[in-house]
Structure 1
Amino acid sequence: MSTPYELVSQHVAALLQEAASAAIPPETVAGTLITEAVRIMKQHRKADDIRSELMFVIDNLEDRDYEFMRP
């Protein structure tokens, strides 16, 4: 059984291949995926919840070395 991440990842990989063959840049696909994800989330979650999740992603855009996570 696939995890949600594995399922979505497989479809995104196929989407990126199809977009490349249509000369659609990956960043355009990514922006469209964000828009679609928010549309889906709005059907099931409150705006504040969506905002919090998006802010978490934004706050963690940079790769960081978290010392507390080291063995």
Structure 2
Amino acid sequence: MTASPYELVSRHVAALLEDGARAAIPPETIAGTLITEAVRVLKRHRTLDDIRSELMFVIDNLEERDYEFMRP
């Protein structure tokens, strides 16, 4: 069975965090570097406005919210 994109990336992020811990690199430094690399990859395939929209969506949804309309 093929891993989903989330499963694939999640495994690699977990490994990066372990490698970073062994090298005394804080997890927030690893995360910031991942964001930078993700944007670099996106710039090769998507427009700046599209990337900006995606990042704004993530920023706008940083806080966990209880959306009543999404309840079963």
TM-score by length of 1: 0.99
Runs of 4 or more, structure 1, over 3 Å off, are none
Length, aligned pairs only: 71
Identity %, equivalent residues: 79
1:34 aligns with 2:50: no
Distance apart, 1:27 and its partner CA: 0.2
Please give the per-residue CA displacement for 1:16-43, whole angstroms capped at 9, x wherever unaligned: 0000000000000000000000000000
Q: Provide the alpha-carbon RMSD of the alignment.
A: 0.3
Query: TM-score scaled to structure 2, two decimals?
Result: 0.98
- Structure 1 spans left out of the alignment, 5+ residues: none
3-state SS of paired residue (1:45): coil
Unaligned 5+ residue runs, structure 2? none
